């Protein structure tokens, strides 16, 4: 059984117009996409802004209303879940957000931020909770003294690692990472990506890694899906996508990556232009 | 453009701290010079000080910025206004906020001509329309009469570039011109920048963008230039530990990315003595980096500010 199976997912947003705000049409954010994710697998979702990749991620987490299709998590349709089984699903899926400034509550200490999911699902004593938070901080390479500080006292990379610690607090099976490194500098990005890979290996996580950066996705995921205008236009292994792209849009995307190509051991500058 | 001994300091709590420290830089006619580095290294402070965009009450700028023999730092506001917009154009990171939302695209592009030339209204409009075609704007005639909110991010950035180029500047300063754009749009904007005749000072954090557009590269770290070389040379033979660390932190098919220990020091905590990058090198030989290293020429056109690049090894720990 797959960990996650998405069948014919559709997310449409209504377009309202006129004096009475009647629904006159709809914007198709995600239009009939299907894919599966096995336990421990990491899949990348790339595409340009507005292609529906974030909406897909949000739909899987139940953060947005879906217009049609099914999302099966361990064989159960999450759109129909209620009560206890829904809370079990919420434990199993967590998210890492792009913007570390708006995704961490500025009025809470790091301890409370990371302990919040634990408080929701596991009733532990304060001492247990503190021990668990220190363990989690250690996993993402932060000092345990950070627990009493506020998010504003940290740099972008450290804040993203706090977000990761919160996401892995409940030992989820799937993490949806929506552009986790696009707001970070190159050296900080490297650090966060390395931690994400280590944690995946340690905890056997599956990632749905959403990004516009094909280089980052190729680095992180064995399988890649390319989204364009609300549809998945191509899916395959990272090697196939990079070296043998089938769809015209994928080819354009690869040609657009500004880059330094490594050829024959030496690094040379590549002057590429878009495929017209 | 010739920059000598430029220092830009910001006032923090009554004291001035240098974001750009004693910097020398030449931008030859017709060349594209890329300044590369992470955030907090002083790249944008450098760009803003050239065209006098800093806040004079909180910023102190010292040194010499020579544009065709004139020191821009000693000019008064009115004299500076003749040069910026006319001789020096600027392209900002966020195209949507760089454009006036209440003015039609064509009028915005023609506006600098009103201040810098004595062309008539029809001539100005003609020039603006021509530029829209030059920057490959889709449907240029229609776009001329549209407002910024009607255009996509890539089209807005084309409009900003067009208005920066309308007075045929000798130098174009582009501060992260493609950071807010999608990769496919970025590729077209970079192509456009490559075709421009003017000298370009390109500020970016993305080594990929540098490799695509630049003739020469200056790598900045903590307010100083740590390495400068022709573009192909810097990627084929990077010497400074910071340049090498940065390039190995890029995902390019390696199993594990290199992580630079520590972080870029904040202005207040900037080490003022010794090598500024030295403390972020893992496994450093003890005797290196006692003195502040000077920028030295190692091969023709390739300068490095480092005393240990010969023994430096990246270690993956």
- Yes or no, beta carbons of B249 and A186 under 8 Å apart: yes
- Yes or no, beta carbons of B263 and A216 under 8 Å apart: no
Residue B24 in this model has a pLDDT that exceeds 60: yes
**Which of B185, B251, B260 lies closest to A187 in CB terms?**
B260
First to last CA, chain B: 43
Q: B159 in contact with A at a CB cutoff of 8 Å?
A: no
- Yes or no, beta carbons of A269 and B232 under 8 Å apart: yes
Q: B253 in contact with A at a CB cutoff of 8 Å?
A: yes
**Which of B182, B188, B206 lies closest to A48 in CB terms?**
B182
Residue B31 in this model has a pLDDT that exceeds 50: yes
Q: Which pLDDT band, with edges at 50, 70 and 90, does B104 fall under?
A: very high
Cβ-Cβ contacts under 8 Å for A102 (sequence gap 6 or more): none
Residue A271 in this model has a pLDDT that exceeds 50: no
State the complex-level ipTM: 0.83
- Dihedral sign, CA of B245, B249, B253, B256? positive
Nearest chain B Cα distance for residue A157, angstroms: 10
- Summarize pLDDT for A118-148 with one digit per residue, the tens: 998 888 899 999 999 999 998 888 888 888 9
Strand order in the sheet with B59-67: B15-26, B2-12, B59-67, B70-71
Nearest chain B Cα distance for residue A41, angstroms: 17
- Dihedral sign, CA of A87, A88, A93, A96? positive
- Yes or no, beta carbons of B184 and A155 under 8 Å apart: no
Q: Are strands B59-67 and B2-12 parallel, antiparallel or unpaired?
A: antiparallel
Which one of B96, B176, B251, B263 would you mutate to disrupt binding with A, by most A Cβ within 10 Å of its Cβ? B251
Q: Which pLDDT band, with edges at 50, 70 and 90, does A273 fall under?
A: very low
Which one of B250, B269, B280 would you mutate to disrupt binding with A, by most A Cβ within 10 Å of its Cβ? B250
SS3 for A234?
strand
Q: How far is it, in rounded angstroms, from Cα B129 to Cα B152?
A: 19
**Which of B187, B188, B250 lies closest to A186 in CB terms?**
B250
- Residue B308 has a pLDDT of 77
- Summarize pLDDT for B124-169 with one digit per residue, the tens: 999 999 989 888 888 888 999 999 988 888 889 989 999 999 998 9
Distances (CA, A) of B97 to A205, B14, B211: 40, 31, 27
Q: Which pLDDT band, with edges at 50, 70 and 90, does B288 fall under?
A: low
Q: What is the phi/psi pair of residue B262, to 5°?
A: 80, -165
- pLDDT > 90 fraction of chain B, expressed in percent and rounded: 39
Q: Which pLDDT band, with edges at 50, 70 and 90, does B315 fall under?
A: low
- Residue A272 has a pLDDT of 33
- Summarize pLDDT for B207-230 with one digit per residue, the tens: 999 998 999 999 999 899 999 999
Q: Which residue bears the tokens 């739909």? A: A59
> Higher model confidence: residue A25 or residue B121?
B121
- Yes or no, beta carbons of A267 and B209 under 8 Å apart: no
- Yes or no, beta carbons of A218 and B253 under 8 Å apart: yes
Which residues between 28 and 57 in chain A have a beta carbon less than 8 angstroms from any beta carbon of chain B?
Answer: 48-49
- Residue A220 has a pLDDT of 93
Lowest mean pLDDT among A11-25, A44-58, B97-111: A11-25
- Yes or no, beta carbons of B232 and A268 under 8 Å apart: yes
- Residues from chain A that touch B260, judged by Cβ atoms under 8 A, are 187, 190
Q: Which is nearest to B39 in space by CA: B180, B174, B205, B173?
A: B205
- Residue A276 has a pLDDT of 32
- Residues from chain B that touch A193, judged by Cβ atoms under 8 A, are 251, 257
Q: Are strands B216-221 and A231-237 parallel, antiparallel or unpaired?
A: unpaired
Helix H segments across B197-287?
207-213, 231-236, 241-249
- Residue B77 has a pLDDT of 87
Q: How far is it, in rounded angstroms, from Cα A68 to Cα A63?
A: 15
Enter the tokens of residue A193: 């990506």
Q: Which is nearest to A51 in space by CA: B98, B183, B205, B177?
A: B183
Residue A47 in this model has a pLDDT that exceeds 80: yes
Radius of gyration of chain B (CA): 21
Enter the tokens of residue B18: 């240098």
Mean pLDDT of A240-246: 91
CA angle, B281 then B284 then B288, to 5°: 110
- pLDDT > 90 fraction of chain A, expressed in percent and rounded: 50
Q: Which residue bears the tokens 């999911």? A: A117
Residue A35 in this model has a pLDDT that exceeds 60: yes
What is the dihedral angle through the alpha carbons of A84, A88, A91, A95, rounded to the nearest 10 degrees?
-90
Q: A214 in contact with B at a CB cutoff of 8 Å?
A: yes
Q: A122 in contact with B at a CB cutoff of 8 Å?
A: no
Q: How far is it, in rounded angstroms, from Cα A162 to Cα A144?
A: 12
- Residue A19 has a pLDDT of 82
- Yes or no, beta carbons of B184 and A214 under 8 Å apart: no
Region for A256 from its dihedrals, namely left if φ exceeds 0, alpha if ψ lies in -120 to 50, beta otherwise: alpha
Mean pLDDT of A221-240: 93
Q: Which residue bears the tokens 């991010």? A: B153
- Summarize pLDDT for B186-202 with one digit per residue, the tens: 888 898 888 888 999 99
Q: A119 in contact with B at a CB cutoff of 8 Å?
A: no
- Yes or no, beta carbons of B212 and A219 under 8 Å apart: no
- Yes or no, beta carbons of B187 and A273 under 8 Å apart: yes
DSSP H/E element including A117: helix A110-121
- Summarize pLDDT for B44-100 with one digit per residue, the tens: 889 989 988 888 888 999 999 999 888 999 888 888 888 988 899 999 888 888 999
Nearest chain A Cα distance for residue B187, angstroms: 5
Q: Which is nearest to A113 in space by CA: A76, A152, A78?
A: A152
Chain A: residue whose CA lies nearest to B243: A187
- Residue B14 has a pLDDT of 85
| Residue A10 contacts residue A70 (beta carbons within 8 Å) | no
- Residue B106 has a pLDDT of 93
| Residue A208 contacts residue A55 (beta carbons within 8 Å) | no
DSSP structure string for B223-234: TEEEEEEEHHHH
Q: A212 in contact with B at a CB cutoff of 8 Å?
A: yes
- Yes or no, beta carbons of B211 and A258 under 8 Å apart: yes
Lowest mean pLDDT among A168-182, B44-58, B100-114, B266-280: B266-280
- Yes or no, beta carbons of A212 and B247 under 8 Å apart: no
Q: What rounded mean pLDDT belongs to chain A?
A: 86
Q: A219 in contact with B at a CB cutoff of 8 Å?
A: yes
Beta bridge partners of B303: B228, B297
- Residues from chain B that touch A255, judged by Cβ atoms under 8 A, are 187
- Yes or no, beta carbons of B187 and A267 under 8 Å apart: no
Helix H segments across chain B?
43-50, 77-83, 95-98, 105-116, 121-134, 140-144, 153-165, 183-194, 207-213, 231-236, 241-249
- Residue B295 has a pLDDT of 87
Q: Which pLDDT band, with edges at 50, 70 and 90, does A269 fall under?
A: very low
| Residue A122 contacts residue A180 (beta carbons within 8 Å) | no
> Higher model confidence: residue B172 or residue B184?
B172
Instruction: Give the global pTM.
Output: 0.85
- Residue B290 has a pLDDT of 58
């Amino acid at each position: 059984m797959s960990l996650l199976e998405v069948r014919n997912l559709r997310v449409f947003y209504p377009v309202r117009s006129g004096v009475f705000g009647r629904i006159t049409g709809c914007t198709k954010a995600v239009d009939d996409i299907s894919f599966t994710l096995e336990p421990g697998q990491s899949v990348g979702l790339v595409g340009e802004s507005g292609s529906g990749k974030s909406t897909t991620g949000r739909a899987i987490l139940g953060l947005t209303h879906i217009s049609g299709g099914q999302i099966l998590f361990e064989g159960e349709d999450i759109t129909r879940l209620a009560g206890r089984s829904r809370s079990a699903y919420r434990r199993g899926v967590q998210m890492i957000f792009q913007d570390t400034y708006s995704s961490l509550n500025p009025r809470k200490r790091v301890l409370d931020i990371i302990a919040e999911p634990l408080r929701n699902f596991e009733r532990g004593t304060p001492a247990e909770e503190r021990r668990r938070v220190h363990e989690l901080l250690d996993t993402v390479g932060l000092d345990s003294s950070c627990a009493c500080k506020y998010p504003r006292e940290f740099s972008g990379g450290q804040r993203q690692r706090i977000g990761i610690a919160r996401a892995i607090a409940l030992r989820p099976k799937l993490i949806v990472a929506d552009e986790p490194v696009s707001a970070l500098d190159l050296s900080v990005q490297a650090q966060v990506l390395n931690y994400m890979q280590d944690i995946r290996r340690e905890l056997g996580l599956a990632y749905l890694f959403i990004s516009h950066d094909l280089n980052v996705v190729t680095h992180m995921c064995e399988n890649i899906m390319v989204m364009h205008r609300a549809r998945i236009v191509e899916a395959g292994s990272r090697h196939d996508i990079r070296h043998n792209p089938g769809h015209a849009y994928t080819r354009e995307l690869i040609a657009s990556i500004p880059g330094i190509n490594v050829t024959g051991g030496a690094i040379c500058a590549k002057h590429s232009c878009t495929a017209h | 453009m010739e920059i000598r001994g430029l220092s830009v300091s910001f006032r923090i709590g009554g004291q001035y701290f240098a974001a750009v420290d004693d910097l020398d830089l030449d931008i030859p006619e017709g060349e594209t010079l890329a300044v590369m580095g992470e955030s907090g290294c002083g790249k944008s402070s450098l760009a803003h000080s050239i065209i006098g965009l800093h806040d004079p009450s909180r910023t102190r700028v010292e040194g010499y910025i020579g544009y065709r023999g004139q020191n821009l730092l000693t000019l008064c506001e009115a004299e500076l206004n003749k040069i910026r917009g006319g001789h020096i154009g600027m392209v900002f990171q966020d195209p949507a906020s760089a454009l006036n939302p209440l003015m039609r695209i064509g009028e915005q592009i023609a506006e600098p001509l009103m201040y810098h030339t004595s062309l008539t209204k029809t001539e100005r409009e003609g020039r603006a329309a021509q530029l829209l075609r030059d920057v490959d704007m889709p449907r240029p005639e229609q776009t001329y009469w549209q407002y910024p909110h009607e255009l996509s991010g890539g089209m807005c950035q084309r409009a900003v570039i067009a208005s920066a180029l309308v007075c045929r500047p000798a130098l174009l300063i582009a501060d992260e011109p493609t950071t807010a754009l999608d990769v496919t749009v970025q590729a077209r904007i970079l192509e456009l920048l490559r075709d421009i005749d003017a000298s370009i000072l390109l500020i970016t954090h993305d080594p990929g963008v540098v490799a695509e557009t630049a003739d020469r590269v200056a790598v900045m770290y903590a307010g100083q230039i740590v390495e400068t070389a022709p573009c192909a040379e810097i990627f084929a033979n990077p010497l400074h530990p910071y340049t090498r660390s940065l390039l190995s932190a890029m995902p390019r098919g390696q199993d594990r990315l290199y992580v630079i220990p520590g972080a870029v020091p904040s202005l207040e905590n900037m080490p003022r003595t010794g090598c500024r990058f030295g403390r972020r090198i893992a496994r450093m030989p003890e005797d290196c980096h006692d003195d502040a290293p000077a920028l030295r020429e190692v091969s023709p056109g390739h300068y490095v500010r480092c005393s240990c690049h010969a023994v430096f090894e990246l270690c993956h720990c």
